[in-house]
C-alpha cells in the first residue's frame, strides 16, 4: 500500500543543479519543497557523470568543478529544509479535484503538492556506446584503464595513455583537463572542426601545437586491442579506410547520452522531441500549477545552459507562488534587502 501522502507546497522532480536552485528560489518565497530524484544522491549529471569536470560559465566563478557547484547549491538550499526522496522515480502524476497534484514514486512514496516543478534534465540517461566488437570486454577494467564513459576522478588517469573519441564539449574539456595528468592524450574526431566552446577549441589547438595533445583527425574508431580484459591499443581508420594503431591504456568515448523520459512521457504534457514546451515567462506547461525548467524545458530561443536553468527556476518559483498562496499578492524584494528567511 502507498505511504500516507507528504503534504508540501512544491514538489520538485529532479535534484540536479537546476532543481536544487529551484528549492532555494521557492524557499526565498516561503514555499517548502519535497524533491524526488532517480539517483541516489543530488547533483544529476554533474555528480553522476563528471563530478571533477570544470565548469566555466557560472557567474562569479571563473572555474568551478561540477561536484563543487552541486555542494554549494545544496548548502544554499539547506536553510529551507527540503525533503529528498532519492533512488526513486515519479511514476504517476495526477491532478486532484481541489487543484493540487499527487505524485507517486516507484517506492510507494506519495506527495501532495500545490505545485510541481519538473527539473528532470534529460530524464533517465546512459552513454551512447560505439559499435566496436568486444567493447564490453574492456569496460570498467580497473582504475583509469579500459573503456570509460565518464570521468569521476581525474587522478585515475595519471600517467596513463588516454585516447578520447568525440568532438563535443565533453571530449574537448576532458582532453584539456587530462593533459595535465596523463602520460599522453590523443583526441579522435571524424573531422577537423570541433563542436565545443570556441575558447576550449582554441586551447585544444594550443596544446596540440605544443605537443601535449595529439589530434587524430579525420579518423574514426575502428577496433580495440588488448589481452585479458586490459586495453593496449585503439585502432582508428580514416575516410579511405587507412588504419592507425594508437597505444592506449584508456579509451574515453564521448558520443552523448541515450535519453529516456520514462514515465514523464505518459503524463499528457506538450512534448516536442522529448522536451516539454513551456511559456518562457513563467515556465508553465499550460496545466495549472505544473512547470518545467532546465534541459527538459523548451521554447523559442532557448539556450541550454545551467545559468538559463537557474533563471527558469526563479521564474517558475514566482509563478508557483500564486498557486501555493491563492489570492495573496507577492511583494517581491531583492535578497540583499530581504536576506534568507528563517525557517523553523
Query: Phi and psi of 287, rounded to 5°?
Result: -110, 135
Q: Where are the domains of the chain?
A: 6-124+258-338, 129-255
Quick: pLDDT tens for 226-282.
Answer: 988 899 999 999 989 999 999 999 999 999 776 667 788 788 887 888 899 999 999
- 6-124+258-338: which CATH number, 3.40.50.1980, 3.40.1350.10, 3.30.1490.190, 3.50.50.60? 3.50.50.60
For the chain, what is the largest distance between any 2 Cα atoms, rounded to a whole number of angstroms?
71
Burial group, residue 189, by CB count within 10 angstroms (0-12, 13-18, 19+):
buried
The C-alpha atoms of residue 259 and residue 304 are separated, in whole angstroms, by 16
Q: Is the peptide bond before 213 cis (omega within 30 degrees of 0)?
A: no
Write the CB contacts of 290 (distance below 8 Å, at least 6 apart in sequence).
101, 115, 116, 118, 269, 284
What is the percent of the chain with per-residue pLDDT over 70, rounded to a whole number? Answer: 94
User: What's the rounded mean pLDDT across residues 167-189?
Assistant: 95
- Amino acid 62: pLDDT: 95
Quick: pLDDT tens for 76-105.
Answer: 999 999 999 998 899 999 999 888 999 999
Average pLDDT, the chain: 90
Write the CB contacts of 174 (distance below 8 Å, at least 6 apart in sequence).
50, 53, 151, 164, 252, 254
Q: What is the 3-state secondary structure (H, E, C) of 201-255?
A: HHHHHHHHHCCCCEEECCEEEEEEEEECCEEEEEEEEECCCCEEEEECCEEEECC
Determine which of 211-215, 220-224, 330-334 has the lowest per-residue pLDDT on average.
330-334
- Per CATH, the architecture of 129-255 is what? 3-Layer(bba) Sandwich (3.50)
Q: What is the pTM assigned to this prediction? A: 0.72
- Amino acid 259: pLDDT: 66
The C-alpha atoms of residue 127 and residue 257 are separated, in whole angstroms, by 4
- Amino acid 228: pLDDT: 84
Quick: pLDDT tens for 294-315.
Answer: 999 999 999 999 999 999 999 9
Cell matching residue 278: 513551456
**Domain 6-124+258-338 identical in fold to domain 129-255:** yes
The C-alpha atoms of residue 234 and residue 47 are separated, in whole angstroms, by 28
The C-alpha atoms of residue 300 and residue 216 are separated, in whole angstroms, by 37
Amino acid at each position: 500500500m502507498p505511504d500516507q501522502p507528504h503534504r508540501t507546497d512544491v514538489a520538485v522532480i529532479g535534484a540536479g543543479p537546476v532543481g536544487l536552485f529551484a528549492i532555494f528560489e521557492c524557499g526565498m518565497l516561503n514555499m517548502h519543497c519535497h524533491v524526488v530524484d532517480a539517483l541516489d544522491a543530488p547533483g544529476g549529471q554533474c555528480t553522476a557523470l563528471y563530478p571533477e569536470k570544470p565548469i566555466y560559465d557560472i557567474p562569479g566563478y571563473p572555474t568551478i568543478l561540477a561536484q563543487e557547484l552541486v555542494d554549494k547549491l545544496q548548502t544554499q538550499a539547506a536553510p529551507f529544509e527540503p525533503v529528498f526522496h532519492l533512488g526513486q522515480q515519479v511514476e504517476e502524476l495526477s491532478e486532484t479535484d481541489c487543484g493540487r497534484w499527487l505524485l507517486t514514486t516507484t517506492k510507494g512514496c506519495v506527495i501532495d503538492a500545490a505545485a510541481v516543478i519538473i527539473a528532470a534534465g534529460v530524464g533517465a540517461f546512459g552513454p551512447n556506446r560505439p559499435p566496436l566488437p568486444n567493447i564490453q570486454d574492456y569496460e570498467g577494467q580497473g582504475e583509469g584503464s579500459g573503456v570509460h564513459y565518464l570521468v569521476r576522478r581525474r587522478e585515475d588517469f595519471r600517467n596513463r595513455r588516454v585516447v578520447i573519441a568525440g568532438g563535443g564539449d565533453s571530449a574537448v574539456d576532458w582532453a584539456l583537463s587530462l593533459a595535465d595528468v596523463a602520460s599522453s592524450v590523443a583526441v579522435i574526431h571524424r573531422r577537423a572542426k570541433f563542436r565545443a566552446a570556441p575558447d576550449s577549441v582554441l586551447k585544444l589547438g594550443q596544446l596540440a601545437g605544443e605537443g601535449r595533445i595529439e589530434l587524430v583527425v579525420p579518423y574514426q574508431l575502428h577496433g580495440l586491442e588488448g589481452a585479458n580484459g586490459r586495453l593496449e591499443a585503439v585502432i582508428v581508420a580514416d575516410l579511405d579506410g587507412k588504419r592507425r594503431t594508437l597505444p592506449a591504456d584508456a579509451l574515453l568515448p564521448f558520443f552523448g547520452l541515450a535519453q529516456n523520459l520514462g514515465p514523464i512521457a505518459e503524463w499528457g504534457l506538450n512534448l516536442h522531441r522529448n522536451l516539454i514546451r513551456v511559456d518562457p515567462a513563467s515556465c508553465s506547461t499550460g496545466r495549472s500549477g505544473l512547470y518545467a525548467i532546465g534541459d527538459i524545458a523548451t521554447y523559442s530561443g532557448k539556450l541550454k545552459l545551467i545559468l538559463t536553468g537557474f533563471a527558469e527556476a526563479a521564474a517558475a518559483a514566482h509563478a508557483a507562488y500564486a498557486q501555493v498562496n491563492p489570492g495573496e499578492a507577492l511583494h517581491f524584494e531583492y535578497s540583499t534587502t530581504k536576506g534568507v528567511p528563517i525557517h523553523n
